[in-house]
Structure 1
Amino acid sequence: MMEPTGAVPVHDAVYTRRVLDLTMRLAEVIFAAGAGAEDATAAMQAVAHAYGLRNTEADITHTILALSYEDPITHESTARSRNVKYRTLDYSKLTATSELIAELIEHPIDVLDARKRLAVIISSKPRIPVLVRRIGWSLVGAGAAVLIGGGAVVLVAAFIATFFIDLITTAMANRKLPVFYQSVVGGAVGPVVAAVVQVVDPTASPSIVVVAAIIMLLAGVTTFGAVHDILSGFYITGTARIMEAILVTGGLVTGVAGADFLLGRLGLRLHIDAAAPPTLADLPALLGASVVIVLGFAIAVQVPWRAFWVVCLLGALAEFLFLTGSGADFGLVWSSAMSAIGVGLVAAIAARLVRTPPLVIVVSALVPLVPGLSLFRGLLQMSEGDISGLLSMITAAAIAAALAAGALLAQFVVQYLWGPARRLQRRFIGPLMALPVRLGRGPTGRI
């Protein structure tokens, strides 16, 4: 086996295949764990280059990862491809693999040793037990209930509803049922629990339970990755991810609407009470609820422990900036964008402090701003024949896009001013979010 030495390395076929296979597996892990297409493509090219394979071409089309290498002497090509059918947010595995990629780029070790280390990451047991992760999703629902004005009864109901939603949808996912039907069932649980709340406490607002369940289900939707892929030039992959997000949202809407229809036949009508705008006195409770949401999400997707304090602080910052923008009459969309830009700027620096990819911090911190209320309001309006419900649903989509685009813009600015983006513009369009980016103007071996 030959290691990279000169400017024009010559490798035997066995070594080439081993490097390509290692490179593909590394990209597959981060892509399946939540990374965007550009990050996975950059990882493939950088690792292959570090091991001496200079003439490589990498590409991703939705679920297909492709990598080819052309021998500079014989001009023969060797190609590899992998199909990533299932993607789940696992930020612990994403971070560990990202760290391994960074190490291999700077100090390439023997290919077989690198394969063994990657195998340990893939086969290792989840750092957080399933029950604790399920409680994390329940905290997302409970925090969302408080964030939109729910009381103690609604908080408990939202916690229970989201607990059973995750329990049921996980069981369906383990049996490989399509994600649409998982979303239908998950969306139907909220209205059923809301009906119980109305019986237990007639003074409570049961619709808040449904909104909390929607926020919990939308928290894992790949809107951020879809916008990142489209802005980075991976149009097919980004469009496919948007269709996936639409499919999940459509199932969610179907479940909520179906359950609402059946409950309406039983005499229960869900509605959204007009809530007073938040005041300065509400700020501590809202910030606290945001921290609970982010904490629960971080537990559910296994954010590294060292980054918990950062994502919680940035979650509170995101809510504060959003409330500031709303108070200044910026509107929901622009307030969301302003909040995302602020969080993205701080996250670019915080990622260095806790040695965690920016993607992990940004996505976790922006979960409290998921547009569950706008989506549910639009659903109720459309079920009543009100065409303005379509505008509410478009607003929800615009908010989701604004969150992703704002955070990506902030990352691009930081990486362009202090990072390697000036050099990377020859190869990539958008910022790298799931790989370790070393900020600084000096030379670096990292991406």
Structure 2
Amino acid sequence: MCSPGSSTPPTRNPHTPPWPRPGWARSMSDVTRAINVFDSAAYTRSVLDLTMRLAEVIFAAGAGAEDATAAMEAITRAYGLRGTEANVTHTIIALTYEDPATHESVTRSRNVKYRSLNYSKLTATSELIAEILDSPPDVAEARKRLATIVSAKPQVPALFRRLGWSLVGAGAGALIGGGPVVYIAAFVATFFIDLITASLERRQVPVFYQNVVGGAIGPIVAAIVAQIDPSANPSLVVIATIIMLLAGVTTFGAVHDTLSGFYLTGTARMLEALLITGGLVTGVAGGSLLLARFGLQLQVDANLAPTLADLPVLLTASVVIVMGFALGVQVPWRAFWVVCLLGAVAEFFYLAGASAGFGLVWSSAMSAVGVGLLAAIAARIVRTPPLVIVVSALVPLVPGLILFRGLLELSDGNIDGLLSMLTAGAVAAALAAGAILAQYVVQFVWGPARRLQRRFVGPLMALPVRLGRGPGKRI
């Protein structure tokens, strides 16, 4: 055997006990403690990394800042990390954890530069988050499942998504009173607008210039329609084609974030909506100016007020728009029938309010509240986050005609265009605020009891919550 001062471990005598000698107890304890500290630090880093990845996916796919923040705090609690602080500032997601034993902080952050609506991926990730909150799987297993969701093939091929956006344009043409020529022109124009803007997006062209190009295509197609069918209103083609480029969904997210207390993120999203609108202003004005050189002046009929007499056509057009939008943003197949049904319901509520004399803004708000309440029930039936249903169903109510009128008036130097723009903004805000209010009422009255909402400010619309104060099925 070696001497006590030797650095070589002693050879154990077969007759000695199998456990370490007393002199080795402290050193072995130190080694064990070192291993535990190392494992704890690695575990913390893995949990934070998984949490950030989950939050990034739902935020980039269309969730609001409140949902991303609540998800990060709930996931870390589910894995045993208490006292985490999460924050979202438009494109930056940050998560900080302070070790209660050493008071050392670990911070992770991600920059979400590009966001595009993908409700299929949002729903799948939300279901994974629900499973983590109920019974957390191994971190490595959760990361593998998330990687599968992210790398999965799109639910709808690119061609069908583009055809979906074309249906949005064609349905919008029917919704604002166009004829068959307008339907076809809007369908074709929207197809090429999406093709060109998608190509520009792949080349990382700023969104402002994408909308300039998209807005300029509408007047050009309108000029072609005027040559084919002089009796058609060419301005309706422009309205129908730019509806897919409007900042309605962006405005919804801005209002949601602002009402939830994320003022910086909400303001940034509102500026993003203004940037999109500015691109449309430039594109439509530039296209109109070019056409004016050839003697074609676009005029907008300000008296296109829908009535209940046209109810069958308007409801059909609304369903077509919602169907196209659902294809474009990849709404889960099981929720397709729900969003189409609620799209028709939203249009009916809006027409009923307008016929009763409530005006554009209040009729839009009433419709949004009704759809929001029904979406809370439908979300439980089809197992889809309420955000997916609400946004898809309210797309037909995006104020395209008002916005387009304001664009042309501003391009002509008419100050009345500012009033039209403000009206369009008020309608878009009423749609978002009404839907959010409905979700707030539902979640306040019936719960939710899930620990996900310990930091409850605004309604969670992209995450699983329980309706009821006891055990129940998750959304």
Task: Give yes or no for contact 2:448–2:467 (8 Å, CA) kept in 1.
Answer: yes
- Secondary structure (helix, strand or coil) at the match of 1:269 reads coil
Which of 257, 261, 264 is matched with 1:236 structurally?
264
For 1:61, which of 79, 89, 97 is the aligned residue? 89
| Corresponding residue to 1:168 among 187, 196, 200 | 196
Mapped to 2, the partners of 1:123 and 1:422 lie a distance apart of 30
Counterpart residue number, 2:425: 397
**1:22-421 alignment runs, 5 A limit:** 22-218=50-246, 221-275=249-303, 277-420=305-448
Alpha-carbon contact 1:294-1:315 (below 8 Å) kept:
yes
Deviations 1:354-374 (A, max 9, x none): 000000000000000111100
Which sits farther off after the overlay, 269-278 or 228-237? 269-278
**Cα offsets for 1:82-103 (capped at 9, x unmatched):** 1101000000110000000000
The residue identity in structure 1 corresponding to 2:410 is: M
Mapped to 1, the partners of 2:142 and 2:373 lie a distance apart of 33
Separation of aligned partners in 2, 1:378 and 1:308: 33
What code does the residue aligned with 2:178 have?
A: G
Q: Which runs of 5+ in 2 are unaligned?
A: 1-35
**Cα distance, 1:73 vs structure 2:** 1.6
Tell me which moved more, 194-203 or 217-226. Answer: 217-226
Higher Rg of the two aligned structures: 2
Q: Residue 426 and residue 128 in structure 1: after superposition, are their counterparts in 2 closer, same or farther (change >3 A)?
A: closer
Q: Is the 8 A contact 2:70 2:453 kept in 1?
A: no
Is this contact kept in 1: 2:260–2:458, CA < 8 A? yes
Identity, in percent, stands at: 76
Q: Please, which moves more after superposition, 222-231 or 382-391?
A: 382-391
Moved more, 67-76 or 260-269: 67-76
* Matching of residue 16 in structure 1 with residue 44 in structure 2: yes
Paired residues of 1:221 and 1:248 also in contact (CA < 8 A): no
- C-alpha change, 1:90 and 1:182, in structure 2 (3 Å) is same
Q: Which amino acid aligns with 1:102?
A: A
Q: What SS is found at the alignment partner of 1:154?
A: helix
Tell me the distance in 1 between the aligned counterparts of 2:74 and 2:272: 29
Structure-2 separation of matches of 1:46 and 1:418: 20
Question: How many aligned positions are there?
Answer: 439
64-73 or 100-109, larger mean C-alpha shift = 64-73
Aligned mates of 1:253, 1:70 — CA distance in 2:
48
Judge conservation of contact 1:37–1:229 (CA < 8 Å) in 2: yes
- Runs of 4 or more off by more than 6 Å in structure 1? 421-425, 444-447
> What is the identity, as a one-letter code, of the residue corresponding to 2:86?
A
Q: Secondary structure at the match of 1:158?
A: helix
Structure 1 residues without counterparts, runs of 5 or longer: 1-8
User: Which letter does structure 2 place at the counterpart of 1:165?
Assistant: I
1:219 to partner: Cα distance: 6.0
Q: Determine the C-alpha separation between the residues in 2 that align with 1:201 and 1:445.
A: 56
Distance 1:100 1:73, change over 3 A: same
Q: CA deviation at 1:278?
A: 3.3
Q: TM-score, normalised by structure 2?
A: 0.90
CA distance in 1, matches of 2:420, 2:302: 15
Report the residue type matching 1:110 in the other structure.
D
How far apart are the structure 2 equivalents of 1:167 and 1:424? 40
Q: Is the 8 A contact 2:349 2:366 kept in 1?
A: yes
C-alpha contact 1:105 1:446 (8 A) present in aligned 2: no
Indicate if the aligned counterparts of 2:243 and 2:398 stay in contact, CA closer than 8 A: yes
Identify the residue that residue 14 of structure 2 maps to in structure 1: none
8 Å Cα contact 1:226-1:242 kept in structure 2? yes
1:5 corresponds to? none
SS at match of 2:326: helix
Q: Distance in 1 between matches of 2:364 and 2:109?
A: 38
One-letter identity of the residue aligned with 1:384: D
Asked if 2 retains the 8 angstrom alpha-carbon contact of 1:195 and 1:268, the reply is yes
Give, as a single letter, the amino acid of the residue that structure 1 aligns with 2:420: S
Q: 1:389 to 1:245 in 2, by over 3 A?
A: same
* Change over 3 Å in CA distance of 1:274–1:378 after alignment to 2: closer
Deviations 1:267-312 (A, max 9, x none): 1111122546434331010000000000000000000000000000
1:445 Cα deviation after fit: 10
- 1:416/1:422 contact within 8 Å kept: no
Tell me the distance in 2 between the aligned counterparts of 1:181 and 1:446. 42
**Contact 1:89-1:220 within 8 A present in 2 as well:** no
- 1:410 Cα deviation from its structure 2 partner: 0.3
State how far apart, in whole Å, the 2-side matches of 1:331 and 1:140 are: 25
Question: In the alignment, residue 255 of structure 1 is paired with which amino acid?
Answer: G
